[in-house]
Amino acid sequence: MTSGRWLTGGRVYFQIADRLRQRIAAGALRPGGVLPSEAALCAEFGVARNTVRRGLALLEEEGLIVTVPSKGRVVAGGQDAPYRYQGIAAELRARIEGGELPPGGALPSEAELRRQYGASRNTVRQALALLERDGLVVAEHGRGRFVSRSE
């Protein structure tokens, strides 16, 4: 992957971001895949860690990568969401958008979702909160959660 030449000139972090962006576009770094460590990128490009971090920050701002605690930086957009609740929310979103869960229809209970996804109550609640925040789901106290009628 490396050209064997270190990067030089002003604003080198833009060049680092460009090279990593090209790798993502070419499929060398796939969605859900972990990027090389900061140390490895420093060695590859012959720059200081802060320069690498600035380049990675550009890619994060663009939404191309995300930082996942205990994992590192991951290419965004994969089937596997960085966090379990995001994956559950994505599946529920697809069911809503696909019409399987129609507007005004009840969502499965938290207990049912926990069984379906093998997830904790907190993880399921985080997924539902994400859908509520996006306006796809509304909660009615004492009744449950329903697909929003205003899509």
What is the pLDDT, as a whole number, of residue 146? 95
Instruction: Count structural domains, the chain.
Output: 2
For residues 68 and 32, membership in a common domain is answered with yes
Is residue 94 assigned to a domain? yes
What CATH number does residue 109 fall under?
Answer: 1.10.10.10
Q: Which of 75, 101, 130 is the last residue of a domain?
A: 75
What is the pLDDT, as a whole number, of residue 2? 45
Terminal alpha carbon distance of the chain: 45
For residues 116 and 66, membership in a common domain is answered with no
Who wins on pLDDT, 55 or 10? 55
The alpha carbon of 2 is separated from its chain's Cα centroid by a whole number of angstroms, namely 27
Could you list the residue range(s) of the whole structural domain that residue 100 is in?
Answer: 84-147
Output the average pLDDT for the chain: 85
Residues 73-127: tens digit of each pLDDT: 988 875 555 677 887 888 899 899 889 999 999 999 999 999 998 888 988 998 9
What is the pLDDT, as a whole number, of residue 1? 44
For residues 119 and 141, membership in a common domain is answered with yes
pTM, whole model, 2 decimals? 0.51
For residues 32 and 70, membership in a common domain is answered with yes
**Nearest Cα to Cα of residue 106 among 134, 135, 148:** 148
> Which alpha helices (DSSP H) does the chain contain, by range?
12-26, 38-45, 49-61, 84-97, 110-117, 121-133
For residues 16 and 71, membership in a common domain is answered with yes
Residues 34-58: tens digit of each pLDDT: 899 999 999 999 999 999 999 999 9
